[in-house]
Amino acid sequence: MTNTYTGQADWHPSFIIIGAVKAATTWALEQLQVNPALFMPDPEPHYFSSEFEQGEDYYRAFFEAQAGSERMLGEKSADYLAHPQAAQRIAAMLPHARLVVQFRNPIERAYSDYKMLYRRGTVKEGPEAYLASLDNPQPRFLNDGLYALHLRRWLDHFPAEQIHSFLYDDVKAQPQATIEAISAHIGVDPVFDVGQSRKKANNASERFLPLPVRKVLAPLKSTIAPLRGTALFESTRSMFAREIAYPPLSSELRLRLRDFYADDVADLGQMLGRDLSDWLDVTQSGAKQGNDREKHKKVA
């Protein structure tokens, strides 16, 4: 069945959160999922990026149960923003889709992405091995934060009015207003769950299960997901979870990252009409990281 207004199949998503990775895309997903007028699958399809070769039937499976319903369909795959072919692929299938993108300080984003793969055991060396230049086994750490470069590619395929952008800082400062703006962009009445927002804030933690345990539980991720947040689950998890001692991001490396991103940050600021100069204030960021380490020492 085809939507006569858009010319698209009725299982096609009407909006997509395209990234960036480690910029609070999961927060936006879970807030939008609270809205009964919307349907978004929990797993990231990654169809227009890493899973494109699986074909359209793979993508349809995420939405076909909702086809023909009154709910607006959407999805979130945070790697779309930086993927070199995602914009062209989405434009070919979903030219009318409303796009949502959020940006985070690229220095903090790169280090957060590094920490995620470090705790997974994918990378084992310190951040200098991966964040000093693009010539390393994980160039995504640096490349994914070149937001202006990536956004221009999307603007080659979509008009600016179809792309709504906001900052990680907006989520922290004005979470409800952020959701209201996203909802207006995709065309639904906003629903904001204060409890959901607080739960995410309370559950934000640097404590994780030991890596061998996480690897054993990985195949059960979807089964375990509904239990998260329950008293029994959280109390059991707290018995075994430990804080990970990440290799720190040195002041010298922060300066190199500032220089690496300076031009792109300036370009993005002009594109968005926003002052992003705080992103390049490495003195402030370094001081915050030092204070966080001192807090952790006191707790320990």
Question: Is residue 168 in a domain?
Answer: yes
> Residue 151: inside a domain, yes or no?
yes
Residue-by-residue pLDDT tens, the chain, 300 positions: 444 334 468 899 999 999 999 999 999 999 999 999 999 999 999 999 999 999 999 999 999 999 888 999 999 999 999 999 999 999 999 999 999 999 999 999 999 999 999 999 999 999 999 999 999 999 999 999 999 999 999 999 999 999 999 999 999 999 999 999 999 999 999 999 987 654 444 344 455 545 555 455 567 666 666 666 677 655 665 655 557 889 999 999 999 999 999 999 999 999 999 999 999 998 865 545 544 444 333 322
Indicate which CATH number applies to the domain containing 115: 3.40.50.300
Beta-ladder partners of 76: 17
Range of the domain at 155: 15-203
Structural domain total, the chain:
1
User: Is 241 within the bounds of a domain?
Assistant: no
pLDDT value at residue 283: 82
CA dist 126 → 115, 249, 259, 283 (Å) = 10, 8, 20, 21
Name the residue among 90, 92, 89, 98 with its Cα closest to residue 38: 98
State how far the Cα of 27 lies from the Cα of 191, in Å rounded to an integer. 14
CA diameter of the chain: 62
Residue 43 within a domain:
yes
- Please tell me the pTM assigned to this model: 0.82
Q: What is the pLDDT of residue 237?
A: 54
What is the per-residue pLDDT for 292? Answer: 44
β-strands 242-243, 207-208 pairing: antiparallel
